[in-house]
A = this chain, B = another copy of it.
Amino acid sequence: MTDVSTNMRLKLPIVCFILQIILIILFGVLVQYDHEVDAKEWHSHNRSDYENDFYYRYPSFQDVHVMIFIGFGFLMTFLQRYGFSSVGFNFLIAAFALQWATLMQGFFHGMHGGKIHIGVESMINADFCTGSVLISFGAVLGKTSPIQLLVMALFEVTLFAVNEFILLSLLGAKDAGGSMTIHTFGAYFGLVVARVLYRPNLDKSKHRNSSVYHSDLFAMIGTIYLWMFWPSFNSAITAHGDDQHRTALNTYYSLAACTLATYGMSAFTAHDGKLDMVHIQNAALAGGVAAGTAGEMMLTPFGSMIVGFLAGIISVLGFKFLSPILEEKLKIQDTCGVHNLHGMPGILGAIVGAVTAAVASSDVYGGGMADVFPDVASGEVEASFQGVRQAISLAVTLGMALLGGLIVGFIMKLPVFGAPPDTLCYEDSIYWEVPGDEEGHESQLTTVVHSAETEKLNS
Q: Which residues of A contact B (CB under 8 A)?
A: 7-17, 19-20, 23-24, 27-28, 31-33, 36-44, 49-56, 58-59, 62-63, 65-66, 69-70, 73-74, 77, 80, 83-84, 87-88, 91-92, 95-96, 98-99, 118-120, 123, 146, 207, 210-214, 216-218, 220-221, 224-225, 227-229, 231-232, 240-246, 248-249, 252-253, 255-257, 259-261, 263-265, 267-268, 270-277, 280, 284, 298, 300-302, 305-306, 309, 363-369, 371-372, 429, 431-439
Pairs A–B under 8 Å by Cβ, sample size 6: A23-B305, A31-B300, A62-B229, A69-B224, A99-B257, A119-B245
* Cβ contact within 8 Å between A20 and B260: yes
Minimum C-beta distance from A81 to chain B (A): 8
Please pick, from B9, B216, B217, B306, the residue contacting A24 in the complex, using a CB distance under 8 A.
B306
Contacts of A245 in B (CB 8 A): 36-37, 42, 52-54, 58, 119-120
Please pick, from B210, B218, B224, B280, the residue contacting A217 in the complex, using a CB distance under 8 A.
B218
* Cβ contact within 8 Å between A435 and B228: no
* Cβ contact within 8 Å between A432 and B275: yes
* Cβ contact within 8 Å between A42 and B275: no
Minimum C-beta distance from A308 to chain B (A): 9
Contacts of A434 in B (CB 8 A): 213
Binding site of A, secondary structure by majority: helix, strand, loop or mixed? helix
* Cβ contact within 8 Å between B372 and A39: yes
* Cβ contact within 8 Å between A268 and B31: no
Contacts of A240 in B (CB 8 A): 49-50, 52
Nearest first, the 6 closest Cβ-Cβ pairs linking A and B are A39-B368, A40-B366, A9-B273, A43-B367, A16-B264, A95-B259
Please pick, from B9, B33, B59, B221, the residue contacting A62 in the complex, using a CB distance under 8 A.
B59
A200–B50 Cα gap in the complex (Å)? 57
A213–B364 Cα gap in the complex (Å)? 55
* Cβ contact within 8 Å between A268 and B95: no
Contacts of A38 in B (CB 8 A): 242, 246, 298
